[in-house]
A and B are shown apart, each in its own frame.
Chain A
Amino acid sequence: MISFLRKHKYLIDYTLSTLVRNKGKSFALLTVYTLIIFMLASVMLFTHALRKEAVSMLENSPEIIVQRLQAGRNALVPEEYLQKIGKLRGVTQKSGRLWGYYYDPAVKANYTVMTAGQASLPITEIIIGAGIARTRGLSLGDYLTLRSQSGEAYSFKVSKLLDRKSELVTTDLLLMSPLAFRRLFDIPEGFYSDLVLSVRNPREVRKVAEKLVLLLPDSRPILREEILRTYDSVFSWRQGVIFVLLMGSILAFVIFAWDKASGLSAEERREIGILKAVGWETSDVMRMKFWEGAIISLVAFLLGYLAAYAHVFFASAGLFESVLKGWAVLYPRFQLTPIVDGLQLATLFFFTVLPYILATIIPVWRTSITDPDAVMR
């Protein structure tokens, strides 16, 4: 066992000497290889962590949301719908939501205006998300003036800022009392933007949604599972789009690495011939070349992955921020929780490290089984 390990250590020594002898080539290959793995791993780590974060937050969203459609557009839902829905078996809680959008021309951004859940707010006070506070330069006690549907200006006092840690879902939120909301947007009493329902048995959610459509033909139920599925597909799509953009550089690298690994130069052929002539066996030459491929690809994989991890989780994916995160005037600032998907990591390893090692060994095997004299000539 010890002699086996010692033999491989000598082989690594020899391989490293060969790599150092061709410093320029080896360094260029290692840099490009590391960069490719860094880019792919950054995209994978970022999208997976964001998807996980989205799922953990949005699994608390309402079980069923009921919208009303009129001529293909969302319309206000009358209060009577709540009473009609109350007759459905399995529905435990039901309430109306008031929410909408407000375009602020001062910063050219849309706010999401909602009524404040359990917290009862005075009619003249609002709670705002961290993104609005940052963009408008507002802090506690400041006033924000909003123009109502009828053109009147209403000033609201900022009574609370929403926690910065929840920016991913609250950055553009503006919460106010139901009365203030109705006055601002001229929504009459007895109407809601949509309705939210809770169902006692989670397995009955789909059945309840089916009954809803029969009971209220103009309604459109949206299930929590559909919300989660939408976000899953949003991030998969985005990951795919970035991979397609990266495809050009990946293909360039594949051609470069394949050429370097599989096409042996005359110098390398001569080296193999000399090694065989001084007594190396075919298996030794192949082991040496295996180590050459393994050293370059393993080091590139580990360096690229670790750099991507630091880039995504410590530097907030700063290099590809605009492409990976998207952009908006009210963009949330958030730090992702470092969660890695083992399957994605294994896929990256098998598609980047193994092909390179195989591409190194096969041509060497072809050369090293031929006569050393013929190879050297």
Chain B
Amino acid sequence: MRRSNTFLVCLLVMLAGFFFTIFVSCFQQRQTPVAVVQAGNLVRELGLTDLALFTEARYTRHPTQTDLHSPFQDHPGAIEHFPSGSILPPPSGLLQ
């Protein structure tokens, strides 16, 4: 088999894979997965507000519910010290 033919066949296979992922994505966007619907129902029933990604402090567990000073309330002169604080953004007021 000529090199160009081998290359074009490989390229076609990769392109088919690429477009398949786009197709799957479009399909998923149209139809919300059952797991997400169930979790959404639980969110509605319990009145949940945040993702359970960082559970170490109240301002990382519920970033939408804490006031701007909560990372610094542990003691006078406290600085924010949890590792996820470096990944969570600071309040928008500080970025302006």
Interchain nearest-CB distance for A23 vs B (Å): 13
A238 at interface (Cβ–Cβ under 8 A)? yes
Instruction: Decide: B52 and A222 in contact? CB cutoff 8 A.
Output: no
Q: Is the CB of B64 within 8 A of A227?
A: yes
Known pairs A61-B48, A131-B52, A233-B92; A338 contacts B24 (CB<8 A): yes
B29 in contact with A65 (CB, 8 Å): no
- The answer to whether B4 and A9 have CB atoms under 8 Å apart is yes
Interface stretch among A159-167, A251-259, A351-359? A159-167
Q: How far is the CA of A339 from the CA of B29 in the complex (A)?
A: 7
Residue of A nearest to B39 (CB): A166
Cα-based distance from A114 to B49 in the complex (angstroms): 12
**Chain B residues within an 8 Å CB radius of A117:** 45-47
Are A337 and B61 interface neighbours, CB within 8 A?
no
Is A140's beta carbon under 8 Å from chain B?
Answer: no
What's the least CB distance linking B83 to chain A, in Å?
7
Q: Is the CB of B17 within 8 A of A110?
A: no
Minimal beta-carbon separation of B49 from chain A (angstroms): 5
| A16 and B36 contact, Cβ closer than 8 Å, known pairs A60-B41, A230-B63, A338-B28 | no
Partner pick for A230 among B24, B28, B64, CB 8 A cutoff:
B64
Contact of A302 among B14, B43, B92 (CB under 8 A): B14
Q: Which residues 59-96 in B have Cβ within 8 Å of A in the complex? A: 61-65, 67, 69, 73, 83-84, 86-89, 92
Q: Could you list some 8 contacts between A and B, CB below 8 A? A: A9-B2, A54-B51, A65-B65, A171-B55, A231-B51, A305-B21, A328-B55, A337-B33
Report which A residues bind B (CB closer than 8 A).
Answer: 9-10, 12-13, 16-17, 20, 53-54, 56-62, 65, 67, 69, 72-74, 97, 101, 109-112, 114, 116-118, 129, 131, 162-163, 165-173, 175, 194, 196, 220, 222, 226-227, 230-231, 233-234, 236-238, 241, 295, 298-299, 302-303, 305-306, 309, 325-332, 337-340, 342, 345
